[in-house]
């Protein structure tokens, strides 16, 4: 009887640890309103820079290509890292 109670306690503790670890891994740091606004502003800036480089590629096609490639590479890395 004591062994069964000890197993139940150990099982409950293991479940609690696993549950807490899963919560901490899955928890995304939430952004406050100011940080969200800044993030949206920076994303809009990057999109604008990419469009500007594309629109003016005839001025310096090599530089425009480099800028667009760098932005796209960064966007791909962001998608690989997850949401």
pTM of the model: 0.52
Helices 61-81/33-55 angle, 10° precision: 150
Strand, helix or coil for residue 59: coil
Split at pLDDT 50, 70, 90, the class of 51 is confident
| Polymer length in residues for the chain | 83
Split at pLDDT 50, 70, 90, the class of 27 is low
């Amino acid at each position: 009887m004591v062994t069964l109670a000890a197993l139940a306690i150990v099982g409950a503790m293991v479940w609690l640890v696993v549950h807490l670890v899963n919560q901490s891994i899955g928890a995304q740091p939430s952004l406050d309103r100011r940080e969200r606004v800044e993030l949206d502003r920076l994303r809009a800036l990057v999109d604008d820079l990419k469009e500007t480089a594309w629109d003016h590629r005839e001025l310096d096609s090599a530089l425009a290509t480099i800028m667009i490639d760098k932005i796209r590479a960064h966007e791909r890395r962001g998608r690989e890292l997850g949401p």
